[in-house]
């Protein structure tokens, strides 16, 4: 196994993913670099509130990349 961090490149429009940067073959948008972390990283899970209810269907790593304002809100919810 490599120590290098696993990187994904995801289209912000249609969510087509690839292992290399570039332009989405489906819709032509530039794919955004995302870091989903290692397999046990909590950022791979969806965000939850204090009661354990899932607050988004998207994994945390995607929300952190695509919506920084949501990241702050989620951190406030998960670290009260």
Question: For binding to Zn ion (CB under 5 A), which residues are involved?
Answer: 11, 13-14, 16, 24, 26-27, 29
For residue 13, give the 3-state DSSP assignment. coil
Rounded distance, CA 16 to CA 29, Å? 10
Residue that has been written with the tokens 């955004």 in this structure:
32
What is the nearest approach in angstroms of Zn ion to the Cβ of residue 74? 25
For residue 30, give the 3-state DSSP assignment. strand
What is the nearest approach in angstroms of Zn ion to the Cβ of residue 17? 10
What is the nearest approach in angstroms of Zn ion to the Cβ of residue 11? 3
Q: In the complex with Zn ion, which residue's Cβ is closer, 7 or 29?
A: 29
Q: In the complex with Zn ion, which residue's Cβ is closer, 34 or 74?
A: 34
How is residue 76 written in tokens?
């406030």
Q: In the complex with Zn ion, which residue's Cβ is closer, 26 or 33?
A: 26
């Amino acid at each position: 196994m490599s120590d290098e961090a696993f990187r994904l490149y995801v289209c912000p429009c249609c969510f087509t993913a690839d292992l290399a940067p570039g332009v989405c073959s489906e819709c032509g948008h530039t794919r955004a670099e995302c870091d989903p972390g290692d397999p046990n990283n909590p950022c791979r899970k969806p965000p939850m509130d204090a009661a354990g209810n899932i607050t988004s269907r998207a994994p945390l790593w995607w929300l952190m990349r695509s919506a920084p304002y949501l990241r702050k809100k989620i951190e406030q919810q998960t670290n009260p």
